[in-house]
Structure 1
C-alpha cells in the first residue's frame, strides 16, 4: 500500500528527524508506528543509523511493527526481527541480521543485563512510554541505565490527560535523563503537585494551579503533542478491529470445543423447525463466545477460566489511552470480575444507574463496564469519554449501534474511537461480520449455525 501521509504525519516525521531524543505524544489512531518507521527508514537511507530496538507491550511486539513494515510499500525493505520466546529464541533473533529488533517490555530488563547496560543499537523506540511510568519498577531502572548508551530515543504514547501528569516524570527521564523535569521524582511531585496522604502514604496528587501548562512548556522542545480531534480527517467515529491471537494450545482447544458443541447441538436440535432452531442456536453461540472471551460457565453456573488473551489486549488499550476514560461493553457476568481483576489499581465501575452515569460524565471513572442492553437507549454519556472497547460484540446490530451512540452523539468534543476485540479463528469473527453486514439477529444466528453444521458435517464424513 502506498503511504500518503497527512500534513500532521509529515510534521511528526520531521520532528523525529530533527530531535535525536524526542517524544511523540499522539492520540490513538494518528499513526505513531508508521510515522516512526518512516523516519527510521529515512535515517537509514541517510546512513545515520543502522540498527533500531523497539520495546513494546507483548501483543504489540508480536504483531504491530511487523504488520506495519509489511503493509506500506516504502517500508517493505525493512527487516524486522522479533526478540521473543525462550532465552535461546531471543538470543537467536538478536544474532540475526535485521534493521528493527522488537522486544516485549517484560524482556527488556533481561536485554539490558545481557549487554551490561550498553545497548548495541543506534535508535531506541519506547512503545508504549507509559509502560515506564513507575520510577520504582525494574524496567524503568533498566531504562535509566541503558538509554544514555543510545544516540536516538523515540518515546511513543498518547497525549496525557491532566490526571496523568504525575506519571510524566519517569517517562520523560527515559528520554532526557531528567534534564527538563528534574533528577528526582519526589522533587517533581513537591514542585508541581498537591499531595494528599493517608498514614504518611501519598494516595492522590493534584496538579497545582497553573502548573499543568508549566509542565507542558518544559517538555515542549522535545515532545510533539497532537490530539485526534485537531488532526484526524476521518469520520467522527473510527472503528478498529483488533484481532486477538490465541496460543496454539488454546486455539486447538477452541476448535475441539466448537466441534463437540456443534455435533452435540445437531444431535439434540437437528429436527427442530427453523424458527425454533434460531432460539436454540443462540445458546450454542453464547457458549462459543464465552470461550472466546476467556471463561465459560458449566451447568452449575460455575466459572472456568481458559485464557487471558482478550484481557491482556484490553489492558494494553487502557494503558495506551494514557489517562482517558474508556467505556467497555461486556457480554457475560464473568467478564466483569475478570476485567476488574486485570485492571486492578484503576477505578473500574460496573454501570448500575444514575449515580454511575454522573460519575462517568464528571470524569471520575477510569473504566466503565456496561452491558449494551443496559445503556443502549436514552443515556447521554458523551461528556465522560470518547473511547469504546467491545470485549465481545454479540449479534444485535441495533444494540451495537445504539450503545456506540452513547458517546457518538451531539455534544461529543472528540472523535469517538471504537475497538472490537475479536479472537481470531473463533465465533467472534462471524458475529462481527454479521454486524457489518447489517443482518438481523435471527438470520445472523441461523447463517452462522448453518455454516458450522456444514463445516462439521464434512469432517464427520471424512
Structure 2
C-alpha cells in the first residue's frame, strides 16, 4: 500500500503546484508599531507551496520560504500521540533564496524520508546526485530546519547530528555551514588535529559533529556514548562492503535517521547495492540470502549472453521491482538539471601522434615474450596487468618506462620473470645518452600537445587558469617539471598532500588574487568534493578504465559558480591502448542507467584473450581507430552527423559488446559520439583557435559544445 499512498500524495502535490492564484493586496513592512504604515498596492501570486509579492511595476517585493509537505493522517496517528497541533515546517527564507529548483526538491525528498513519510517505519535516504549539484547545501538546509521545528506543535525533530566524511572534506563542510548559516545560528564542531571529540562531549554548545571516517574509528567508544538523531555519511559509497570496519562501526550507532550522500552510482555488483540500502533502511530488502535469491541471481543471470528469453524477462521484472522499491528513498539527478545555469562547456578529445621513440618501444613491448604469453590463452597466471601498465606508462612518456626498467635492475627483490621478459632488450631502443631526468617534449606526443596547449591558453586567455589531471604521481612529477621549465606558477594536490592543507590549497587556487596558472591534480586525490572553479581549462593527461574517475575530474571546473566558458581536453595517444580504454569507457558508460553497473572497474577488470589481442595492437596507419570504428562517412572535415541519428542508434555497436539498450541513457555512447564534431588533424580551417595551434601534433579531434547558444 505504501507505493500507492506515495503516488496519491504526489498527485495531489502536482495538482497543488499547478494551481496559481492572484490577489490584489496592500502591503507594509514588518513593524511592532500599533499604527502600521501601509506602503502601497501590490499583487500576491500564490503557486503551490510558495508565494511572491510584486509591486504594480512587476518587481519582486518579497518571497516566502519553502514549506514542507504535511504528514498524512496515518503518520499523525503514529507520531502525534499527544495530539499536538499540526503546523507547517518552513525552510529558512535566507537559505531558500539561494536554492535551485532541484535543491528544493531534494530537501523535500530528504525531509519525507527521515520523517518516515515515504515508507512506514523507515527513516533512511540515499541522495545520489552527481557532483556539483549541492548535496551539502541540501543537507545543511535539512539539518537547520529539523533542529528548529517539526510538524507537531513546532517541536524540533532533532538535537544532534553526526556528519561522517572523508578527511579531505571535513573543512569543506565546516566552510559550507559558515557560508550558509554564519557562525552564530548553529554551532558546529569539526574534529581535526587541534580539535578532539572530547571537546564536543564536554560542551553543550555544539549540535553538529563533523568527523572523518578514520577519526570515527579511533573515537568510536566515545561517540557510541552520545545520542545522535541524524547521521549523514558523505561519499557514502565507501560503505558498499558491509564487512569492513567503517560500515560495522556506523551500523553500531543507534540512530534511525540515516542519509548516504554519493555522487557515484553503485558500480560493481548487486551485493554492494544491498549493503548501502540495508545501511540506510535495515531489513527493507530482507536478508542477504533472500535478496540474492529474489533479485541478484535472476538479474545477473538475465545479463549473461547465454540467457534464455524467459530468464531475461524474469531478470527485467526483478530489476524493475528493485528499482521501484528502492526508488522511494533513492534520489539521483544528473548534471543536466543545472546545465542551463552554467557557462558553455567545450569538450575535446585529442588523439596525439606518438613520438618516434614511443613507436619503437611500443613495437618492442608487443613483441616481448611476456605479451606473447598473455595471448596463448591461459589468463590464470598471465602477466597482462603488468604489460598493460607498461604500455600506459609509455603513452605518457618513455622516461617512465625507462625508470621502471632501471628500477627493476637495481631492486633486490623481484616479482618474478614476467617483467624481466617484458623489458628484455628495451634499453637498447633508448638512445645511449638517454637521461630520464630530462623528460623532454620530443619523446612524447602527448607532452608536445600539452606544451603547445599551455602556451596558447596563456597567450589567448592570460587571466584564465588550467587544471592538469593525471592518474599517476610519477606523471605529475613530469608535468611539474614542464611548469618549472616554462616558468608557470602552479599548485599541486596529490595523495601525499596532508589532508589538513588541501582545502587551503584549493581556496588559494580559486582566489582571483592567486598567481597560480596551473593546478596539478592527482585524479585519485581529487576524487571527492573538490571545487576548482578557479580553473576554466581542464586537461586530462591520461585515461582511467573507470569512466567515473574521468567524469569526476571534469566536474571539478564545470559546476555552479563557474564564470568562464570551460574548455576540457582529453589526451589520447593515437592507435594505442589509450584509444582502446576510451572505447571501453564508452561501452561501459552506456550501462550506468541500470540499477547497477555489473562490469568490473580499474585493477579488477577482466579480459578475454580476444580482448587482450585487441589491447595489444598498435595501429600505426590510422588517424583515429575510434573514428574508424564508428564507420562514419565523413572525411574528418568539420563534420557533425545529424542525418545518421536513426542509423547510429540501430547500427551494431563496435565499441563494446552487450550494451544495455535504453533510450533514457544520458552518458556518452557511441551514437552520441558520432554526433560530435569530427576534425582530422590535416583539416586546415579549424575555427577553434586552441585546436588550430596544436593541429600539427594531433591526428584527430572530437569536439562537443554544451550551452553553445551562450558561447562567445
Distance 2:145 2:693 in 1: 42
Distance 1:355 1:210 in 2: 34
Aligned counterpart in structure 2 of residue 30 of structure 1, from 125, 133, 140: 133
Structure 2 residue 480 is the aligned partner of structure 1 residue 292: no
Cα-to-partner distance string for 1:16-53 (whole Å, 9 max, x where unaligned): 22222222222222211111111111111112212111
Aligned counterpart in structure 2 of residue 183 of structure 1, from 259, 270, 287: 287
The aligned residue for residue 170 of structure 1 is 275
Structure 2 SS opposite 1:81: strand
Q: CA deviation at 1:307?
A: 7.1
Point out the structure with the larger strand share.
Answer: 1
Q: CA deviation at 1:95?
A: 3.2
Distance 1:102 1:314 in 2: 20
User: Structure 1 residues 231 and 80, CA, compared in 2 at 3 Å: closer, same or farther?
Assistant: same
The aligned residue for residue 409 of structure 1 is 704
The aligned residue for residue 157 of structure 1 is 262
Q: CA deviation at 1:15?
A: 2.1
Cα-to-partner distance string for 1:74-102 (whole Å, 9 max, x where unaligned): 7862222112237x733224434312210
Cα-to-partner distance string for 1:2-25 (whole Å, 9 max, x where unaligned): 642222222221222222222222
Aligned counterpart in structure 1 of residue 233 of structure 2, from 113, 126, 150: 126
> Aligned pairs, how many?
315
Structure 2 SS opposite 1:193: helix
* Mapping of residues 262-281 of structure 1, within 5 Å: none
The aligned residue for residue 669 of structure 2 is 383
Structure 2 residue 656 is the aligned partner of structure 1 residue 361: no
Aligned counterpart in structure 1 of residue 113 of structure 2, from 4, 16, 19: 19
The aligned residue for residue 213 of structure 1 is 320
More deviation, 149-158/1-10? 1-10
* Mapping of residues 417-428 of structure 1, within 5 Å: none
Distance 1:166 1:76 in 2: 44
RMSD: 5.0
Cα-to-partner distance string for 1:149-171 (whole Å, 9 max, x where unaligned): 22422221236267565422111
The aligned residue for residue 249 of structure 1 is none
Structure 1 SS opposite 2:233: strand
Give the conservation status (yes or no) of the 8 Å contact 2:164–2:210: yes
The aligned residue for residue 423 of structure 1 is none
Distance 1:226 1:36 in 2: 15
Q: CA deviation at 1:220?
A: 2.2
User: Structure 1 residues 42 and 134, CA, compared in 2 at 3 Å: closer, same or farther?
Assistant: same
The aligned residue for residue 66 of structure 1 is 174
Give the conservation status (yes or no) of the 8 Å contact 2:163–2:209: yes
Structure 2 residue 609 is the aligned partner of structure 1 residue 314: no
Structure 1 SS opposite 2:231: strand
Q: CA deviation at 1:69?
A: 1.3
Q: What residue ranges of structure 2 are gaps of 5+ in the alignment?
A: 1-93, 115-122, 150-155, 302-311, 347-454, 459-480, 503-520, 531-537, 550-569, 590-599, 604-623, 627-635, 641-666, 674-688
- TM normalised by structure 2 equals 0.37
Cα-to-partner distance string for 1:162-216 (whole Å, 9 max, x where unaligned): 756542211112211122x2232x54344323569xxxxxxxxx99434332222
Give the conservation status (yes or no) of the 8 Å contact 1:127–1:156: yes
Distance 1:237 1:85 in 2: 41
Cα-to-partner distance string for 1:235-256 (whole Å, 9 max, x where unaligned): 37579xxxxxxxxxxxxxxxxx
Aligned counterpart in structure 1 of residue 252 of structure 2, from 115, 128, 145: 145
Distance 1:79 1:400 in 2: 54
Distance 1:193 1:222 in 2: 20
* Mapping of residues 232-271 of structure 1, within 5 Å: 232-235=339-342
Q: CA deviation at 1:366?
A: 5.3
User: Structure 1 residues 109 and 93, CA, compared in 2 at 3 Å: closer, same or farther?
Assistant: same
Distance 1:156 1:229 in 2: 19
Distance 1:73 1:306 in 2: 30
Give the conservation status (yes or no) of the 8 Å contact 2:543–2:572: no
Distance 1:144 1:137 in 2: 11
Larger Rg: 2
Give the conservation status (yes or no) of the 8 Å contact 1:144–1:177: no
The aligned residue for residue 398 of structure 1 is 690
Distance 1:160 1:140 in 2: 18
Distance 2:321 2:189 in 1: 40
Structure 2 SS opposite 1:16: helix
Give the conservation status (yes or no) of the 8 Å contact 2:237–2:264: no
Segments ≥4 residues shifted beyond 6 Å:
286-291, 305-309, 377-381, 399-403, 405-408
Cα-to-partner distance string for 1:398-438 (whole Å, 9 max, x where unaligned): 369999x988726x8xx99xxxxxxxxxxxxxxxxxxxxx9
The aligned residue for residue 264 of structure 1 is none
Structure 2 SS opposite 1:362: helix
Point out the structure with the larger helix share.
Answer: 1
The aligned residue for residue 49 of structure 1 is 158
User: Structure 1 residues 182 and 227, CA, compared in 2 at 3 Å: closer, same or farther?
Assistant: farther
Give the conservation status (yes or no) of the 8 Å contact 1:382–1:406: no
User: Structure 1 residues 76 and 69, CA, compared in 2 at 3 Å: closer, same or farther?
Assistant: farther
Give the conservation status (yes or no) of the 8 Å contact 1:82–1:101: yes
RCO higher in structure (CA 8 A, sep ≥6):
1
User: Structure 1 residues 182 and 287, CA, compared in 2 at 3 Å: closer, same or farther?
Assistant: farther
Q: CA deviation at 1:230?
A: 4.4
